[in-house]
Structure 1
């Protein structure tokens, strides 16, 4: 027998088996352990820059979109603005800042340059240093802006000493180093008072040589509240020294790309990856560059972009005051997870799947009890879309996250619900809810057979429209491999769009599973949803039929 031939045969067989094993490994669900008792940073918020004075101001509608937290809005909670070297222009910042604050945002102001006469080069551009003999006048200048905003109904939460002290372009800029910050704070820091937080740093690449001297100065550190930085040419990193001094760490400016449209997919998902890394690095706040730009959260026509929807997966649901809690960060090499706990003990998980395969995840929740998690996803075809509710049983549940997508899971209820065939989503008026106006209906019809229970639930309704979901729960002892259900309206209701299923027909309707949710293991459920039109009567809840739920 030819030994070389045998070796080739064995090699081929080995590689085939290895490939099958790899495929099996990829298909196995990985576990996310969430521990609500393990607490990290408090989230101050997510935000963006309003560039009035350099670009057109945000319109009233755009402000509502940016700082509102209802469906189709971003949920931003921090507005950054520029301190003009000319005090005559400060009035330009007032209208948008007032409205943002009315919508719940806090305000951060950053100067690009002191007035020219205070600088060594006597110019607003090309760097130049703030002269020490003008430290007092510069503090008065900054405090004057804060006073102007406060007197006009937009008090600041924080004020920065200098934007990008290490960048000296041919536009407004100023050159500072770490010792300059120390000297200024020692001389003038006490003037800023307890009601106005002082942000220090804002270096281009979050370079610590600008902030370490402040943190290591026993006097200057007393006057710095926020350690800030930008992420140009850098990746988020933890700042243990800042945390040890009790300082918040804010990322106050970045954009991941300014050459491509904000809807280009999957390029837009880079925002989700950076947001995850920033939260995992214990940042208290993340602030994007211009809120409205073709590459930004709101496009020039006022429409929310893919990047905007990705931001809202964090900003709408992880609200100011939430704490990041313990969670398995990388259950797969291409999946990133952070989890948060709200003041009302609401639990939120944000999962970024940066890979090309759907990922099955088992969740174990410790030191908190919730009834279910509701899923909202953004992908190439979804925009913070409802993706079903996942019941918790003995502190555990399981779900899938689609490839190249970001999903937010928001807890509902505080006790584990029973395994009843009916499913009712509780009403919520919180800013985290994807539905804010109409009350949710408890109408449901379930068909329970030997293998599965199939439940139709009206999740929301208004004068001439509704949303609903169908939950299929495998009550048997073997997996359901492929499912197909149907239903029929008798009141003229019609479906306009759907998610998490292949929908066919035009009444009766039929739905079947997608590649990632067509198999239902014993005791597990899948849920898909849809939106439609109806008459002015209550939304109908028809019976759901199919071979699995006879």
Structure 2
């Protein structure tokens, strides 16, 4: 018996050793394509050089290095994309046929553009709608007048064209900004207020009707967030939920309703607000087993800096550590306070690069920008909350304006595909930021960002191989190998 155990143990050890050997890649035979976007040049997602790996030497403290361990795997990417709002759809509708196709290619075509794979849209109106509206007549609690006819004019056609350009499938999720006015304590869709308790079931039914109506139009809905920014009393559509109120609405109404309606497979995302309070919201909801069973994960935004604080990237990791069975999704971010003189303001792009790298390195599986298209005034927006988008359309000239943000997002979305796994990586100096993913085709993608005023030479180390790369000041690079 002892001999059998000994030989069986050796057999298992040999099998495991073979698997480890099979997984080891000879990076010395790999070429590295380098793509660069740089402030002080016309480089925009431009392939700038092809490099080779050399046998690695001991890194020095005087060098700037990136260390990648392909055997340590973290989260799997769901997708990267942006929101098609009413504002985006209305502006899109006014473009020429050629510019419409240019915009679709720019976002959704992997070869011609940056390959968006994720799409958010709203359940009736948000601030980025020309006006407030719902899908029912005022006072219709039974939802007998429910209709998405409004969306069929602009928004649904654009979503369908985006999906077609993306290859016929895209991960689509939806978010409400406010229940109808008659369901709320303040009698208005605007300026906060709360969902009246007596309308909680009616409001849950509303989600189900919306999902079914969109899917009847041939647009599969992957999931939904419960409420956009549930702790912000905004001048536009908004609704307040405490953590306990959102928990109870989820477990007593929304979750059971979607299950009864045959929609139990839809992914429900809680919070959908800034990083500052996301730990509290996750604690309250996920530690309640009856609520947690309906929740896929936590959504978050980047606007916590409105208080003057720095971004709370560490809170993303706190939730990831505490609830490893739940997912993390960045659901909205944009450059606030539109100013046409800052279309090419480089720090706007760098804000995207920095946020995306930190969020991915802290466990985020999906990353969603806000409006994909706005006009030359940062709208339309029915309360004057004008913002930037990665691409603007000048409706007087019909031209599209590409901002640095578009290219910074593209350094991720064009190369890191859905299903990619994030690999363990670390940078030896704070002057650089970096993250690395492995695609399903086994290609590796390393994104490197330099916010400093100096050109930087850095080395990439992976499994006994190294290469040296030069990154210009205020640049972002993607290495594909």
Structure-1-length-normalised TM-score: 0.61
Which residue matches 1:9? none
Q: Is the 8 A contact 1:178 1:210 kept in 2?
A: yes
Q: Does 1:360 align with 2:425?
A: no
Distance 1:363 1:409, change over 3 A: same
In the TM superposition, 1:119-134 aligns within 5 A as 119-134=184-199
Which of the pair has more CA radius of gyration? Answer: 1
Which residue matches 2:325? 246
Which residue matches 1:518? none
Match of 1:269 among 329, 344, 350: 350
CA deviations 1:461-496 (Å, max 9, x no partner) are xxxxxxxxxxxxxxxxxxxxxxxxxxxxxxxxxxxx
Q: Is the 8 A contact 2:91 2:373 kept in 1?
A: no
* Shift of residue 267, structure 1, vs aligned partner: 4.3
Q: Does 1:69 align with 2:110?
A: yes
Which residue matches 2:418? 320
Which residue matches 1:107? 172
Query: How far apart, in 1, do the equivalents of 2:275 and 2:223 lie?
Result: 21
Which residue matches 2:156? 94
Greater fraction strand: 1
Q: Is the 8 A contact 2:89 2:155 kept in 1?
A: no
* Shift of residue 353, structure 1, vs aligned partner: 0.8
Match of 2:297 among 218, 222, 226: 226
Which residue matches 1:400? 470
Measured on the aligned residues, the alpha-carbon RMSD in Å equals 2.3
In the TM superposition, 1:14-163 aligns within 5 A as 29-52=63-86, 56-58=90-92, 60-61=100-101, 62-71=103-112, 73-84=113-124, 85-86=134-135, 87-88=147-148, 89-91=150-152, 92-102=154-164, 103=166, 104-163=169-228
In the TM superposition, 1:442-453 aligns within 5 A as none
Query: How far apart, in 2, do the equivalents of 1:241 and 1:30 lie?
Result: 31
Q: Does 1:331 align with 2:428?
A: yes
Query: How far apart, in 1, do the equivalents of 2:458 and 2:317 lie?
Result: 30
* Shift of residue 269, structure 1, vs aligned partner: 1.9
In the TM superposition, 1:301-312 aligns within 5 A as 301-312=399-410
Query: How far apart, in 1, do the equivalents of 2:210 and 2:271 lie?
Result: 19
In the TM superposition, 1:366-515 aligns within 5 A as 366=463, 395-411=465-481
* Shift of residue 140, structure 1, vs aligned partner: 1.1
Q: Is the 8 A contact 2:65 2:429 kept in 1?
A: no
Query: How far apart, in 2, do the equivalents of 1:101 and 1:143 lie?
Result: 22
Query: How far apart, in 2, do the equivalents of 1:307 and 1:405 lie?
Result: 12
Across the two proteins, how many residue pairs are aligned to each other?
358
* Shift of residue 240, structure 1, vs aligned partner: 3.8
Which residue matches 2:21? none
Query: How far apart, in 1, do the equivalents of 2:184 and 2:432 lie?
Result: 48
Query: How far apart, in 2, do the equivalents of 1:361 and 1:266 lie?
Result: 22
* Shift of residue 55, structure 1, vs aligned partner: 6.5
Choose 26-35 or 287-296, whichever is displaced more.
26-35
Distance 1:289 1:206, change over 3 A: farther
Q: Is the 8 A contact 1:50 1:57 kept in 2?
A: no
Which residue matches 1:379? none
CA deviations 1:100-133 (Å, max 9, x no partner) are 2231421111100111222122221121111222
SS class of match (1:34): strand
CA deviations 1:281-314 (Å, max 9, x no partner) are 2111121121113532112132432210111001
Structure-2-length-normalised TM-score: 0.70
CA deviations 1:256-288 (Å, max 9, x no partner) are 444343322344322211211111221111211
Q: Is the 8 A contact 1:50 1:58 kept in 2?
A: no
* Shift of residue 205, structure 1, vs aligned partner: 4.4
SS class of match (1:172): coil
SS class of match (1:302): strand
Which residue matches 1:184? 249
Distance 1:162 1:266, change over 3 A: closer
